[in-house]
A and B are shown apart, each in its own frame.
Chain A
């Protein structure tokens, strides 16, 4: 935006500044994406006022520090909206609605049909669209952070290792085994083997939805690493569906010990460590 436009825009902002905020809020009310105002107009009006002030300061000085202040102010506003349960569309509408009072004032300021008017309207649009994009980015960053946090929680929650018996540990797997999770599974299992000193580790995949070549590869690697540590690895919970897939895909489980159910795996583990289950005499 050149100096001329900035000066003009400052003049536009200065036309009836008290009504500017009213108009801004009016334009939004009734729209389906309008931010809800359970506590009246005051909070939104206050946000509008500081945004107008920061915008004016940035336009007057055209100083990078002032622009940065405006951007960080918008980040805080978007942040507050997000915490209030607003969506990024709502915050977007809140900012784009500001175009309307500005357009109206620009039309008062400049004669109709003036080429400068079109230029000014365009400058306003570009400026506000940029602000909307910035606030949207804030939303996205926050959401990404939430996703990262949830993923970490999920990884932790979905990879428990249980000590089934002396020398026998079980890791029930649930969900999807992508390469990222497979890495976590392997590390968790190996750490548990080290910690418990287990002779047999059972990986139960009853809760795993699909087994493809990638997943099979990951199971192999985990079993191979466990074997290097001197622990027998059994993969259990291979249902008919998964067994069919394995055969159809031509996956060779080779010397990996597999069992269809967890109880079979436990029986096999017991015999490996030399234990026997017996019925008591009644």
Chain B
């Protein structure tokens, strides 16, 4: 029965092709895996340092290299997780709590005193802001500042990002960072003594 034989052949061929396609897809995904660089190229770092803010210190233009790199600090899980680690390492929680604020302003309430743009947040961390925000210029490298800025932006993001930082090692004291928008969960308006804090330019 030649028909039976050829059908068996087709079945086998189908399985073989499906196997090869799966293998190929796995290889492609593996190849497209997000690269991880632990130390930024010094020239890239120098370029990342060139923030241009508006005269009032709110918003501005990110360095061109930021777009050339594909805006990694907002979109890669590694950078966001690294930002989360930096948040605790550098004691941000001492003033900003778990993101709900304390002595410093809240991130979760979605009220950004200097705007929600990455460039504003990075500038706030790097150069400090009036009313108590210290400058971290000498304490953190510029790519660490960008990583932290990406994470801070995620805490009070208006819409959810596709990527998320790593889970909490400690107890959850508030919803995870990648839910959105923040306002639905913590829409309290500017909280605490920081309502008076405003740009002093």
A binds B: no
Question: Which A residues contact B (CB, under 8 angstroms)?
Answer: none
